[in-house]
Structure 1
Amino acid sequence: MKFLPISLLIMALATATALAYDPSALQDFCVAMNSVSCAVFLNGKFCKDPKQVTADDLLFKGFKYPGNSANSLESKVTPAFVDQFPGLNTLGISMARIDFAPGGLNPPHTHPRGTEILVVAEGTLLVGFITSNQLNNTLLTKVLYKGDVFVFPIGLIHFQLNIGNTSALAFATPSSQNPGVITIANAVFGSKPPISADVLTKAFQLDKKVIDYLQAQFWYDHN
């Protein structure tokens, strides 16, 4: 019995450790400050006084009309993230409407802070994601039809391509109020300032002229 208090202490410490964790990041970075004099926000947003919240704060009407897919990608993402829909703040969920013209592409991209579930509302989409280096960068791909649902795990590169002869429509639900979007081509070849050509020629095993050409392109952001 003399060992019982020590056992209880160990159990208590283990429980405290299991219950204590850092919240998930909702922005790219948050530099710590010792003074609040120049603080802007913590993890995304301030909260409205709950006594002043109305039903309108929990309503989003941005999905009523198709997004304009008349662009180089022939697709348009209409996000309902916390910036567009403040009622999502702290709820850990968001949505996006994705409109595709025939042949339209939502190009390879990642969401660093959210897993995404996609449901096809109209049309036929070729979708896929690439696993991490640990799993040999395996491509997992599928053709989706109306009513089909597919999941893209957090942080993995994924895409959607309209392979039908008509327009397509899909709705995505990331598991974060602010999942973030990193479009691979835009980030690598359109960064400001540009990534050194020495880095990119070696990383992609391309001639510097090709890198210069890619960096000179206009990388359209359809989000």
Structure 2
Amino acid sequence: MANYVLVAGAWLGAWAWDEVAAELRAAGHGAYPLTLSGLAEKRDEAPAGQEAHVRDIVDEIERLDLRDVVLVGHSYSGIPVGQAAERIGDRLARVVFVDANVPRDGESFVSAGGNGQEVAVAIAKNDGFWPPLTAADFEGQGLTDEQVARIVAGSTPHPGASLTEPAVLGDALPELPATYVKCLLDWPEPYGRAAELLEGEHWRLVELDTGHWPMFSQPRELALVLQEL
């Protein structure tokens, strides 16, 4: 059986994976949701940069001595997860990007484009943190009002340094066994670095007909996708 290390995106912690982790464990797998430094129950720690988030992941895998690791990154956390995947060697079975940013060497979350400039301005205005989304921002993402309320209530400001510091990568990522899970309500197809890597022979694409937060909107379906890998 596989060991799933689950890392949620911006503003979220290990709690976001409760339902997915329960499904994986019921099927006999190991499931290890991880909170990155500066978020959720770790919010009172010193503000964390990109390297700290990569170390969070690598250190936890090594501390637990996990093998056959399926390393799962959602949204923002695809950036540290992609770097960690290169560093854990033969412990890795597969890396999975769930509607996630995919890292490029020397590029940060903010510099990668999209709404990066908007994020940088928000960080500057909020004492070095990216403030969480409001309920209205989740419209059209396949979530119930109860699910939205749960996300909003559990979100914490995201440490800005992790969004502005660049990724540090070797050249292994294109050669790693990888899956990109595209959530169609958020955007219909992968773009940027993800689209480039999906053209290679080691990466595959899976689609989910839901929004950007499938661990809430379709936890059972997401767990099945992860198991089928």
**TM superposition score category, shorter chain reference:** under 0.3
Q: TM-score, normalised by structure 2?
A: 0.24
Higher strand share: 1
Q: TM-score, normalised by structure 1?
A: 0.24
Higher helix share: 2
